[in-house]
Amino acid sequence: MSVEIPEITKKLLAAKQAKGISFADLEKAVGRDEVWIATVLYRQASASEDEASKILHALNLSQDLLPELTACPAKGLGPVVPTDPLVYRFYEIMQVYGMPIKEVVHEKFGDGIMSAIDFTLEVEKEEDPKGDRVKVIMNGKFLPYKKW
Amino acid sequence: MSVEIPEITKKLLAAKQAKGISFADLEKAVGRDEVWIATVLYRQASASEDEASKILHALNLSQDLLPELTACPAKGLGPVVPTDPLVYRFYEIMQVYGMPIKEVVHEKFGDGIMSAIDFTLEVEKEEDPKGDRVKVIMNGKFLPYKKW
Amino acid sequence: MSVEIPEITKKLLAAKQAKGISFADLEKAVGRDEVWIATVLYRQASASEDEASKILHALNLSQDLLPELTACPAKGLGPVVPTDPLVYRFYEIMQVYGMPIKEVVHEKFGDGIMSAIDFTLEVEKEEDPKGDRVKVIMNGKFLPYKKW
Amino acid sequence: MSVEIPEITKKLLAAKQAKGISFADLEKAVGRDEVWIATVLYRQASASEDEASKILHALNLSQDLLPELTACPAKGLGPVVPTDPLVYRFYEIMQVYGMPIKEVVHEKFGDGIMSAIDFTLEVEKEEDPKGDRVKVIMNGKFLPYKKW
Amino acid sequence: MSVEIPEITKKLLAAKQAKGISFADLEKAVGRDEVWIATVLYRQASASEDEASKILHALNLSQDLLPELTACPAKGLGPVVPTDPLVYRFYEIMQVYGMPIKEVVHEKFGDGIMSAIDFTLEVEKEEDPKGDRVKVIMNGKFLPYKKW
Amino acid sequence: MSVEIPEITKKLLAAKQAKGISFADLEKAVGRDEVWIATVLYRQASASEDEASKILHALNLSQDLLPELTACPAKGLGPVVPTDPLVYRFYEIMQVYGMPIKEVVHEKFGDGIMSAIDFTLEVEKEEDPKGDRVKVIMNGKFLPYKKW
Amino acid sequence: MSVEIPEITKKLLAAKQAKGISFADLEKAVGRDEVWIATVLYRQASASEDEASKILHALNLSQDLLPELTACPAKGLGPVVPTDPLVYRFYEIMQVYGMPIKEVVHEKFGDGIMSAIDFTLEVEKEEDPKGDRVKVIMNGKFLPYKKW
Amino acid sequence: MSVEIPEITKKLLAAKQAKGISFADLEKAVGRDEVWIATVLYRQASASEDEASKILHALNLSQDLLPELTACPAKGLGPVVPTDPLVYRFYEIMQVYGMPIKEVVHEKFGDGIMSAIDFTLEVEKEEDPKGDRVKVIMNGKFLPYKKW
Amino acid sequence: MSVEIPEITKKLLAAKQAKGISFADLEKAVGRDEVWIATVLYRQASASEDEASKILHALNLSQDLLPELTACPAKGLGPVVPTDPLVYRFYEIMQVYGMPIKEVVHEKFGDGIMSAIDFTLEVEKEEDPKGDRVKVIMNGKFLPYKKW
Amino acid sequence: MSVEIPEITKKLLAAKQAKGISFADLEKAVGRDEVWIATVLYRQASASEDEASKILHALNLSQDLLPELTACPAKGLGPVVPTDPLVYRFYEIMQVYGMPIKEVVHEKFGDGIMSAIDFTLEVEKEEDPKGDRVKVIMNGKFLPYKKW
C-alpha cells in the first residue's frame, strides 16, 4: 500500500546518509535546487550527464551508476491515495482547495492549467516563534487551452 | 466521476456572475484572501457570521442563506483521482514530487508534517513575456510528531 | 458506470438532431474544427462569446444559453475505465502502446511530455476498398521538464 | 503503482543502450516502424521469427532469446490510471475528448468503432520555432457493429 | 452498485410485458435475432429506422420514440464486477477460462483477437432430462494484429 | 496489472513448446478437450491422476509434478478488468450483451442462471473467405433458483 | 456507499410495519420461509403469481403490484465491501474462514462448489443464558466441476 | 489477484498431503473441529501450545514451527472480491441475501449483530440421491448495540 | 465522493439549529450521551420509543417521525476513504497505529478483538493553555476468538 | 491484501519473542508508552538515537540497526480497507460514529480537527466480571482552521 522505493534510490540515500551530507550540500555541489535533486534521487526526474556525475561524486558513488540517473524514468511513486501523513496532506489540500484554486486561476488567466512540467517547486523553512512553518512555492507556466 | 458541486455553490457562483464581480472584489469587500473566499463558496470552509454577511451582501443575496455559509461543512469535493486537468496537475505533482518533498522537509524539520489546517494558500499571477506563470504559495505550520 | 451526459449537452445534441445539421456544418458556421465544437457541446471546452453565439444560432437555440458555453467547465467525462467500446479502444491503445510511445518520444525529444492543452485533435475518414479507416491525428507541443 | 517492466524488456533496452543505437536505426534494420519495434521490445506485440532474429542481431543479443519475442504476450502494461505524466496525458485526452470523438466518428461512419488491432500508430517530430510538436497519428479500420 | 436501467428500456420492457409478447415474437416481427433485439431494447445497439419502426409497432408504442432506438448509444451497462449471479457467471468464466482460451486461440489463429464488433451471439435452450442446458454461441471475426 | 502466471504453468508451457506439440495433440493424448487441458495447465482445473499422468507424459515431464495438477486450485487468474485485448473482449461482451442475455435466458427458462461449473466451453475455427472466425460455444446447465 | 433500497421494497416494508405483522406471520401466510420472503421483498428473488398475491394480500397492498414481485430482478444489493456491521460480519467470515472452508469442502467432495442457486438459508434464534445466539444454516447442492 | 497463501501454510498442507491424512483425522488428533484446524493451518486463527504441538505431531513436522501456529496472525486472506468460485458463492450469498438476513435478525433479536468472533462454523456433507449437499452451519452470539 | 446525509438527519439537524440547543442539552433531555444521540440523528443507531419521543420533543418535531428513529438502520455513512479532514484523521490513525494497537491488545488480552457493538465512545474537551485538546475515549468489550 | 510487515519489524518482533519480554517491559526500559514503542517497531514512528539504542539493547540486538529506527519512515501500513478483524473494528467505528463525532467536535470546538500528529494513544485493560474491556484513549490537539 505504501511507496515502493526503487533500489537505486535506496543506494543513493544510504550513501548520502553514510557521507553525512544534506540536500542543501548537494544543492551547492550540483548547482540545482535541493528539491529537484531529491527528485532525481527518487528517479522521478532525469539528470544530464554532468549533473549525474556531480551527484555521484558528491555521494562517493561509482560513475557506473550514471546511466541510472540520466535515463527518462517511468514516473509516479505513490499509491492512488497516499497513506503517508506528510504526503497525504497535499492530497487533502487538493480535496479541499482544488476547486477554489480552479475558480481563481480561471478568473485570473482564462481556461487553461498550471503546467506541472514547465514547473518549479521550492520548500522553505519559515521560522516562527509560535512554531516554524513549511512554505512550499509552486511556479508553473500557465498553458491556455488551444482551440482549432 | 467529476465533481458534484453543491446547490448553494451554484447559487453563489451564479450571483457572482450576475453581479459581474471578481474574487478580487470579494477580497476587498470581505477582508479575506480570494482563495479562502472561493473555498467558502465551495462550502469547504466555514465563515463567521460577519464574513458570511459580507459575502451575501456583496453578491446581492438574501441574508437567509447565512447559516449555509457558517455551518461546518463535510469537506472533500473531488473524486479519488481528479479528472479535471487543472486539478489533476496537483495530484501529479504529488505523484512525482511527493517523496522528494518529504525527504527535504524531514531533513529541514525532523519527523512531522506540514499542517493543512493551520495553513494558507495564495494564487498569484506572475507576468512573463514567455508566457505568464501561476504561482501557488502554500504555508503550513510544521507539526512535529509527538512522542509519549 | 457509463458516462453521465450534462443536461446542456443533451439539449444541444437534441437541437442539432432536430435541425438536421452535422458537425461538419457547424465547423463551417463557427470556423472551428468539428471535434473542438463537439468538445464544447460536451462542456469539455469553453467557447468565446462569439463562438458560443454562432453555435447557438446554428442550432436555433436561445442566446440565453451563452454563459453555459463560455464558462470554464470541470472537465473529465468518463468512468475510470471507459465501458463504451469506441472510447475503450483508446484506453487499450494506451495499455498496449503507452510505454513504447514513451520510449520513442524520449528518444526523439528528451525527457518531457506531449501537451494535452496546447493540443489539437482531428478525426478523418480514409476511404479504403478493404474497409474505411478512422484516422486520428493528435498534435501537442513538446514540453521539456524544467530543472531548477 | 507504476509500470512493471518485464525482465526481457530490461535486457533488450540495456543492449540497445549499450550498442548505442536508436529506434530509428532498428526501424532500418528490421524494416518495421520504430513504434512497432518498441512495442515488441515491451512485449506487447509478437514478432515473426525473421523480425525477432533481426532485432536480436541488431542488439548484439543471442538468438536464444528468439522465442521470447515471437510468443503471443499477455498484453497491457499500465496501472488502471497511468501515473507517468507522458502516458497520463493520453488518458486525459480520452477523459476530455473521448465522447466528442465518439460523436464525430458516429456521424462520419455510423455505429461502430476504430479497431485497435487492425491499427497503426506513428510518432513524428514536427519542428516549430515556438517549440517542437509531437504528432501522433493513429489509423485503425472502422468496424461497423454487426447485426444478426 | 447494480445495473442502472435506462428509462427508455423500462418503457420498452413494460410495453412488451403489457402486450404479452416474447423476444421470439419480436424476432419474427423484426427479422433479427432475439438477443440482438434485447440489446437494442437495453440501448446497447442502434437499430435502423426500419428496425426501430417494427419494434415500436410490435410493442404498440408511438413512433415518436424512434430516434431513441436509432441513436448510437454510449455502451456498457454493468458495474465493474457484475453482482447479478447470471451475469457474474460470465465474468467468472473469463477469470477461470480466459487465459486458456487465449492460448488455444493463439495456437489456432496466431496473435490477434476475436472481434466483439463483427460478432454475433445466440442463446439456445438445449433440452436435457438431467436438466435443460443454456447454450451460448459466440461468433466473432478473427482480427490479426497489424504490423507496420 | 496483467496476469501473474503460476510457475508450474510456465514450466508446462515451456515443455509444450520444447516438444513442439499443440493443444490438439494433447487433446488426442489425454482424451479431453483442448480448452479443458489448457485450463489444467493454467491451474484453473484439477485433473485426475490418470489425466495428469498422460499430460506429463505427453510433455516429457517428470511424474513428480503429478500432485501439482491434481490439487484443487484457488481459481481466478485475471485482474479485475482484464487488460489483454483478447480477454478484454469477453468482458466487453458482458458489458454490452450481459443484460440482454439475462432477459432472454429468463424468458426461456425462468429465474435462474447458466451454471459455470456444470459447464463446457469449446473454441472452433470457422474458415471464411472474408476472414476466419472464432466460434466459442458455452454450454452450462440451467439452475433454477430454489425456493424454500 | 451504503445500500440503495428499491422503492418497491420501501413500500412493502412500510406496509408490513403499518400492518404490524412479522416475517414469521408472512411465513405462515405464504407457506415459504421467512428469509426467502424477505428476499422477495428486497427484490432479490422472484415470486410466483400465487406467492406474490399472498404476500400483497397479507400486507394489505394492491394486487397491481404483483408484476413487480414476479419479475426476475437484477440481483445484488450491496456495495463492494458492505459497511453495515451485521452484513460485514459475513464478509469478514469469508476473509477469515473462506480458504479453510474451501479446503474442507474439497476434501469431503472433490473439486467443485456449493451452489448458491440450488440453495436454502435459514436464520434461527438459539436461546442461551450467556446470550442468545444467531444460527445461520446454509444448504447448497454440491456441484462438481464438469470435465469435457 | 488470487489468494496469497503464507509459506507456513504451504508447508503444513504439503506435510498433510505427504502423510496422507485428512482434516477429519486431524480433528480426532487435536480434539477440535476440522474447519477450525484448517483455519489454523491458513494462519487465520491462533492455536494454544498444546493444540499446535498436536497438529505438528500429527503432520510429522518439527516442534520448532510451534511459535508460527500460536502467534496471533494478521487476518484476512482474500482479495476484495474473491475470484475463486467456491469462495465467491459466499460473497454472492451476501449480495443477494445480506439485507434479507439483516431484516430477519433485527426482527428476531433487535438492533445488533451476529458475532464473527464468538462464533463457530461447521461444514457437513448431506448425502442426497439428487446430488449431495454442502451444509454450512454458522453459529454466533447475538451482540446487541450498547447505548450509553 | 463525500458523505450523503439522510433526509431525516437534515431535518433533525435543522430543527436542532432552529431551536438553538446543543448536543449537551439533548444529553440532559434524553439521559443518553451526546455522541450516542448524534449517532441516532445520523441514523447509525436505533432509539427506543421513549428515547425517540424525547429527542423529537426536545427538537419541537412531530412524533410522527418516531418510527424513523426506532428502525434498525443500514449503517455506514462514509466513502471508502473519508475525505473530510476531521474524519480522515481517524482513518490515518488506523493506518499508522493500527498494527501497533493490535500487538499491544494481543499481548494484554490474547487473540481476539475490541467489540465495536458492546462499545461506548465519548468526546471530551481538555482545556490546555497551549491549545485545547480533543479526547476520544473508546471502550469496548474484549471478545476472545472462540475455538470449537 | 493483508498487511506487509517490514523486514526490520519481523526481526524486532522475533527478538522480542526470543527474549520473552513484553511491551510493558519495553515501556520501562525506554521510558516511553508501550503503544508508541510498538509504533516504532512497526516503523511508523522514528525514535531518537537514545530511544533506539535503548530499544535495541532491551531486545539484545546490534546497535548497527540504529539508523533503521531513527529514519523518518514512509508511513501507512494497512490495505485501503483493513481485513484484520481487530483493525477493521476501528474502521467500522469511523463508518458508524465518524459523522456524529464530527458534529460533537464542531459544537464543542468550532471548525477544525483533532490532530493526529500532536497526538497520543493509550490502550488500557479494564477488568470487568462480565468480560474485560479494551479502553483506547486518543488525545489530540484541536487545530482550528486558519483563515487568511
Touching status, chains E and I (3+ beta-carbon pairs under 8 Å):
no
Q: Sign (positive/negative) of CA torsion C13, C14, C16, C22?
A: positive
Same-domain status, E11 and E65: yes
Number of structural domains chain E divides into: 2
- Which strand ranges, in their side-by-side order, compose the sheet holding E112-126? E112-126, E133-144, F133-144, F112-126
Instruction: For residue range E2-11, list pLDDT tens digits in order.
Output: 688 999 999 9
Residues E52 and E107 in one domain: no
Question: What's the CATH code of the domain at C127?
Answer: 3.30.1160.10
**3-state DSSP assignment of residue A140:** strand
E60 and E100 co-located in one domain: no
Residues in chain E predicted with pLDDT less than 50, given as ranges, are 1
Task: Tell whether the torsion through CA atoms of F146, F148, G2 and G8 is positive or negative.
Answer: positive
Distance, in Å, from the CA atom of G28 to the CA atom of H107, rounded to the nearest integer, reads 16
I91 and I62 co-located in one domain: no
Phi-psi region of J110 (alpha: psi -120 to 50; beta: other; left: phi over 0): left
| D66 in the same domain as D91 | no
Q: What is the pLDDT of residues G97-146, one digit of tens each?
A: 999 999 999 999 999 999 999 999 999 999 999 999 999 999 999 999 99
Whether the per-residue pLDDT at H3 is higher than 90: the answer is no
Residue E78: closest C-alpha in chain C: C1
Who among C81, C83, C92 is closest to F85 (CB)?
A: C92
Judged by CB atoms within 8 Å, which residues 104-133 of J form the interface with B? 106, 110-113, 115, 117-120, 122
Residue E78: per-residue pLDDT: 81
**Cα of E78 to nearest chain F Cα, Å:** 5
Last residue of a domain, one of E45, E70, E95: E70
Question: Chain F residue closest to E120 (CA)?
Answer: F135
F-contacting residues in E 32-51 (Cβ below 8 Å): 34-35, 38-39, 41-42, 44-45
Helical residues (DSSP H) of J1-148, grouped into ranges: 7-19, 23-30, 34-41, 49-58, 66-70, 85-109
**Residues in chain A with pLDDT < 70?**
1-2
Residue D19 lies in a domain: yes
Q: Does A99 touch chain I (CB under 8 A)?
A: no
Same-domain check for residues H64 and H89: no
Instruction: With beta carbons under 8 A apart, name residues in chain F contacting E76.
Output: 92, 95-96
Does the pLDDT value for residue F9 go beyond 50? Answer: yes
Mean pLDDT of I13-33: 96
Q: What is the pLDDT of residue I78?
A: 81
Residue J126 lies in a domain: yes
pLDDT of the residue at A78 = 81
Residue G42 inside a domain? The answer is: yes
Tell me, yes or no, whether chains A and H touch by having 3 or more C-beta pairs under 8 A: no
Q: How far is I78 from chain A (nearest CA, A)?
A: 15
Distance from C-alpha of E4 to C-alpha of E83, rounded to nearest angstrom: 12
Regions of chain D with pLDDT less than 70: 1-2
Mutate to test the interface with D, among A69, A75, A145 (most CBs of D within 10 A): A75
**Residue F52 to chain E, least CA–CA distance (Å):** 17
pLDDT tens sequence across C80-133: 999 999 999 999 999 999 999 999 999 999 999 999 999 999 999 999 999 999
- Give the residue from J35, J70, J105 where a domain finishes: J70
Out of A49, A115, A122, A133, pick the active-site residue: A115
- G/H Cβ contact: 3+ pairs below 8 Å: yes
Q: What percent of chain I has pLDDT over 90?
A: 95
CB contact (8 A) between residue D81 and residue B83? no
pLDDT digits (tens, 9 = 90+) for I103-112: 999 999 999 9
Interchain CB distance below 8 Å, B77 and I2 = yes
Residue whose C-alpha is closest to residue H116's, from C132, E58, G89, G20: G89
Task: Write the single-letter amino acid at D103.
Answer: E
With CB atoms and an 8 Å threshold, state whether G74 touches F32: no
Burial per residue of J137-147, b for 16 or more beta-carbon CB atoms within 10 angstroms, e otherwise = bbbbbbbebbb
Q: Is residue I78 part of a domain?
A: no
Same domain for B55 and B15: yes
> Contact E111/D146, CB-based, under 8 Å?
no
Q: What are the chain I neighbours of B116 within 8 Å (beta carbons)?
A: 85
pLDDT at F1 over 90: no
Which pLDDT score is estimated for E1?
A: 46
ipTM (interface pTM): 0.94
A92 catalytically annotated: yes
What DSSP state is assigned to residue H33?
Answer: -
pLDDT of residue A1: 46
Q: How is residue G146 annotated by DSSP?
A: P
**pLDDT band at residue H12 under the 50/70/90 scheme:** very high
Q: Does residue J79 lie within any of the structural domains?
A: no
Residues D50 and D103 in one domain: no
- E53 belongs to the catalytic site: no
Is J95 in contact with I76 (Cβ distance < 8 A)?
yes
**J-contacting chains (≥3 CB pairs under 8 Å):** A, B, G, H, I
Q: Is the pLDDT of residue C1 over 80?
A: no
Phi then psi for residue C27, to 5 deg, are -55, -45
Would you state the pLDDT for residue A21? Answer: 96
What domain range includes position C104?
Answer: 85-144
Residue H13 shares a structural domain with residue H65: yes
Q: Which of H22, H92, H122, H133 is catalytic?
A: H92
Residue D76 domain-assigned (yes or no): no
Query: Is there a domain that residue C42 lies in?
Result: yes
Whether D89 sits among the annotated catalytic residues: the reply is yes
Q: For residues I26, I31, I33 and I36, what is the CA-based torsion angle, rounded to 10 degrees?
A: -80
Of D83, D92, D95, the CB nearest to B95: D83
The whole-angstrom distance between B89's CA and the closest CA on chain D is: 9
Question: Which of G118, G120, G146 is facing F120, going by the closest CB pair?
Answer: G146
J64 & J90 share domain: no
Nearest to B85 among C4, C78, C117 (CB): C117
Last residue of a domain, one of E43, E70, E97: E70
I74–G5: do the CB atoms touch at under 8 Å?
A: yes
Q: Which residue has the cell 512550499?
A: A136
Q: Please give the pLDDT value at position H30.
A: 97
Residue H78: predicted pLDDT: 81
Predicted confidence band at J41 (pLDDT cuts at 50, 70, 90)? very high
Number of Cβ atoms within 10 Å of the Cβ of C26: 23
Calculate how close chain I gets to H92, using CA atoms only, in Å.
Answer: 19
- Cα–Cα distance between B8 and B68 in angstroms, integer? 8
Looking at residue F71, what is its pLDDT? 93
pLDDT at H26 over 60: yes
CA distance J37 to J55: 8
Which positions 48-87 of G are in contact with F (Cβ < 8 Å)? 51, 72, 74
Please tell me whether residues J104 and J132 are part of one structural domain.
yes
State the pairing for strand pair G133-144/G112-126.
Answer: antiparallel
Question: Does the residue B23 lie in any domain?
Answer: yes
Mean pLDDT of the region B107-131: 97
**Is there an interface between F and I (3+ Cβ pairs < 8 A)?**
no
**CATH code, domain carrying C30:** 1.10.260.40
User: What confidence tens digit (pLDDT) does each residue in J70-94 have?
Assistant: 999 999 988 899 999 999 999 999 9
Whether the predicted pLDDT of C137 surpasses 70? yes
I130 burial via Cβ count (<10 Å: 0-12, 13-18, 19+): exposed
Rounded (10°) angle between helices F49-58 and F23-30: 140
C-alpha separations of I24 from I20, I34, I38, J5, J144 in Å: 12, 6, 10, 43, 21
Per-residue model confidence (pLDDT) at position J78 = 81
